[in-house]
Chains A and B, each alone.
Chain A
Amino acid sequence: MNHSTVILEADKLVKTFGDSTALDGLSFQVTKGESLGLLGVNGAGKTTAMNLLLGLTTPTSGTIRMFGKDLWKHRIEILKQVNFSSAYTSLPSNLLVWQNLTVFARLYGVAKPKQRIEELLELLDITHLRKSVTGTLSAGESTRVNLAKALLNEPRLLLLDEPTASLDPDIADRVRKLLRKLQAERGLSILYTSHNMRDIEEVCDRLIFLHGGKVLAEGTPGEVHERFHRSSLEDLFIGVARGEIDAIGLKPL
């Protein structure tokens, strides 16, 4: 792996909340143009990992480097080149879509906000929503507006926490295809969390299977489920969730 292309480097991340350990020594890298999935059951530690990477939560121990720089020493500089979207956040519901995007374009210091916003509305096929009240959008529309916000600053790294969680299969499929396209066309790196196998298989080049804050397996989607002699990721996932597959004794590929 060419070192210069490493975008994100997490090293031995540990996060404890009181007595419980949400992350137990997570290490991984994301390279330029790569999309990495964090897969795992509820409570596996996916969101915790994401929050650490975004500087929302401080790690108990371990380091995070992005673009070769330490996150906590260069937080603002790094955040300018990163963006985030999640099913669990939204843009202010009482503003119009263009107002929200204008505010964030200015927060990210976008050079030509108006033009950029038009481009993104077109790209995401939501030009007609420009003057809609953000709070009245459907889940699918809202996800696309959130994505527009997440692309405003042409991020080098996009962090997505269950972006398709509230979407129907049709819209979810469209969002996945869009992410694939962006990744291919813009060399965007993506870190994607989901408990949806389909998501990970379609969007991600590589995945980390998290369980109880530990890495259970790592590799391409195909490699991972073959390694556990399961017919599909979904099958593997169910096995882990039901305790038929134990983390003990298993090492990452």
Chain B
Amino acid sequence: MPFSFNTVSALVLRYIYLYTRNPVRFVELIFWPLVDLLMWGFLTVYLKKQGVGEFPTAITYLIGGMILWDVLFRSQQGVSISFLEDVWTRNLLNIFVAPVRTVEYVAATCVVGVLRVGVTLLVLVLVASLAYQFHLTDLGFGLLPFLGNLILFGWFLGMISTALIMRLGQAAESLAWAVPFFIQPLASVFYPVSVLPEWLQPIAMALPCTPVFEGMRTVLAGQPVPWGSIQHAFILNLIWGTIAGLFFAVNLRHVRKAGLLVKVATQ
């Protein structure tokens, strides 16, 4: 498949200009995750004091879960908010009439996802370690594959969100935030999959992020990195990636046929 890195970097440059020109954007990148971290952090401190401490490590699950969830969420947001940014500024048509392949456009939004994850993660890791003595690096060699799988799944959820917004119109833009939270209860971010009703468990385990959160708890409990879970997550990601790619392509085709691309771009 033909692919131009120059095109991708030009598109990414547009988002870098956007974020560096508007400090408010940066604040938004950091503000909500920080509020979340403080909430979960203080809850942790409280639980520790109450001596809900049969397993003191349980406490750090909450902070770890919160941070890793944010990795998934920021990655997804990078993809779908970047698209919305083009819709909001009525720039979408300019992009689509430029020599930009769809894969290049999607790839650029994925890069933005990674950049957003990077900024947010940096701040969260720093604050968590200073304020709550939680060190993400405790995840050891599992850390990178955990993050990688979450970022990948975030991209795919982002592509699905974007495809839905293209199809349903700008009125559906809240899907950009709703889609990840729709799966959050199943993702077992803050509790093990085993607490879910039995019939829900297989569905939960079909999400690539679930084995990651399970794996994180395993490592924080002092056990070795569960490479089986990581492999499981990666295979699920391959499947989800294929589905998301096809879903995006089918929707884009429909959108071009029904003239919706122009509608979403100019309404």
Chain A residues engaging chain B, CB cutoff 8 angstroms: 15, 17, 47-48, 51, 54-58, 76-77, 79-80, 82-84, 86, 88-96, 99-100, 102-104, 106-109, 149
| B-chain residues with CB within 8 Å of residue A103 when the two chains form the complex | 10-11, 13-14, 17
Among B2, B14, B100, B266, point to the contact of A89 (Cβ < 8 A).
B266
| B-chain residues with CB within 8 Å of residue A84 when the two chains form the complex | 93-94, 97
| B-chain residues with CB within 8 Å of residue A57 when the two chains form the complex | 256-257, 259, 261-262
B50 within 8 A of A: no
| B-chain residues with CB within 8 Å of residue A77 when the two chains form the complex | 99
Most buried by B among A79, A89, A91, A96: A89
The answer to whether A104 and B90 touch across the interface, beta carbons within 8 angstroms, is no
Q: For the complex, what is the distance from the CA of A55 to the CA of B259, rounded to whole Å?
A: 10
The answer to whether B93 and A56 touch across the interface, beta carbons within 8 angstroms, is yes
| B-chain residues with CB within 8 Å of residue A88 when the two chains form the complex | 90, 93, 266
Among B2, B17, B98, B259, point to the contact of A99 (Cβ < 8 A).
B17
Given contacts A76-B101, A106-B9, A107-B100, are A89 and B93 in contact (CB under 8 A)?
yes
The answer to whether B10 and A17 touch across the interface, beta carbons within 8 angstroms, is no
Among A56, A95, A109, point to the contact of B14 (Cβ < 8 A).
A95
| A-chain residues with CB within 8 Å of residue B101 when the two chains form the complex | 76
Among B7, B92, B256, point to the contact of A107 (Cβ < 8 A).
B7
Chain A interface main SS type: mixed
Among A15, A58, A95, point to the contact of B21 (Cβ < 8 A).
A95
B57 within 8 A of A: no
Q: For the complex, what is the distance from the CA of A149 to the CA of B257, rounded to whole Å?
A: 27
- Tally chain B residues at the interface, Cβ within 8 Å: 36
| B-chain residues with CB within 8 Å of residue A56 when the two chains form the complex | 93, 96-97, 256, 259, 261-262
Q: Chain A's nearest CB lies how many Å from the CB of B27?
A: 15
Given contacts A55-B97, A56-B97, A89-B266, are A94 and B7 in contact (CB under 8 A)?
no
Given contacts A17-B258, A51-B262, A103-B17, are A79 and B99 in contact (CB under 8 A)?
yes
Q: Chain B's nearest CB lies how many Å from the CB of A162?
A: 12
| A-chain residues with CB within 8 Å of residue B18 when the two chains form the complex | 92, 94-95
Q: For the complex, what is the distance from the CA of A83 to the CA of B91, rounded to whole Å?
A: 14
27 CB < 8 A contacts A-B: A17-B258, A17-B259, A48-B259, A54-B96, A55-B96, A55-B97, A56-B97, A57-B261, A79-B97, A79-B99, A82-B97, A84-B93, A88-B93, A89-B90, A89-B94, A89-B266, A91-B94, A92-B14, A94-B18, A94-B22, A99-B14, A99-B17, A103-B11, A103-B13, A103-B14, A103-B17, A106-B6
Among B21, B90, B93, point to the contact of A96 (Cβ < 8 A).
B21
| B-chain residues with CB within 8 Å of residue A54 when the two chains form the complex | 93, 96-97
| A-chain residues with CB within 8 Å of residue B152 when the two chains form the complex | none
Minimal Cβ-Cβ distance residue in B for A60:
B257
B223 within 8 A of A: no
| B-chain residues with CB within 8 Å of residue A83 when the two chains form the complex | 97
Minimal Cβ-Cβ distance residue in B for A103:
B14
| A-chain residues with CB within 8 Å of residue B259 when the two chains form the complex | 15, 17, 48, 51, 56-57
Having A56-B259, A82-B97, A104-B10, one finds 18 other A-B pairs with CB under 8 Å, namely A15-B259, A17-B258, A54-B96, A56-B261, A57-B256, A76-B99, A83-B97, A89-B92, A90-B91, A91-B91, A92-B18, A92-B89, A92-B91, A95-B18, A95-B21, A103-B13, A106-B6, A106-B13
